[in-house]
Amino acid sequence: MAAQIEMSVQERTPSFPNTCTSQDSATLNDAQSPPPEYSETVEQAESRTDDAREPLSWRLLGLFKSEKLPDEITETEVRSLEGSQPGYPHLATLKCEQSFMLYRGFSWVHARLIMDLQAKIAYLEKELDELDKSEAVDPDTERRLCWVEEDMDGHKRAAASERTRQKILEELRRLVLEYDELLIKAKKLASFQRPSDRDYYSV
């Protein structure tokens, strides 16, 4: 009975030939080896992998690397309190430090100058308004309110001491521009951060 079972197992087990032809062996070797154009050493493969992983921005940055400047250019001269002269030179050296850069804003002076310009502009504005009203009722000068050419001709024919519209407008232009510039700068200075009590008393 045991002999019959063993024979049955042997009959069901397929048998494979252990030999292959030379053509099959050559085909197998060609499949296992890479093509000639892709063959490379391990070092070359690792180098290629590192280059591929390097970001493009880093590789482009290397194209714009500047040469190192000479030492005499890269050095920065720093003033010391001990080496500065007494008086304003010594004080200026001290105020180079950011925590000591404390200066007066002159808010009161700004206010006086702004108010002075404001009063002068208001005076000229009133003078211009009165001139417009007086020339509007005169048939010989009413055209000056509508035509700049007529107003310019009247300004040329007027006496040197006469207050013409062009003289008033020129003074207004100069004062208004000065007023606007001073007002904007004063407003900007007022927005600066005030120093702390510690920085204020340390100076």
Q: What is the pLDDT of residue 122?
A: 98
Q: Where are the domains of the chain?
A: 107-193
Q: What is the pLDDT of residue 87?
A: 80
Task: Tell me how far apart the alpha carbons of residues 39 and 34 are, in angstroms, rounded to a whole number.
Answer: 6
Q: What is the pLDDT of residue 194?
A: 75
> Which residue in 121, 104, 99 sits closest to 198, CA to CA?
99
Task: Report, in this order, helix, strand and coil percent for the chain, each rounded to 5.
Answer: 65, 0, 35
Q: What is the pLDDT of residue 5?
A: 44
Q: Alpha carbon of 18 to those of 15, 21, 22: distances in Å?
A: 9, 10, 13
**At residue 137, what is the residue type?**
V
Angle, alpha carbons 28-34-39 (nearest 5°)? 150
Q: What is the pLDDT of residue 117?
A: 98
Handedness of CA 132, 135, 139, 143 (dihedral sign): negative
Scan for tokens 């005076």, then name that residue. Answer: 123
Mean pLDDT by 10 residues, the chain (203 residues): 47 49 50 52 55 55 58 66 77 74 87 98 96 86 81 83 90 98 94 72 62
> Which residue in 81, 179, 84 sits closest to 125, CA to CA?
179
Q: What is the pLDDT of residue 170?
A: 95
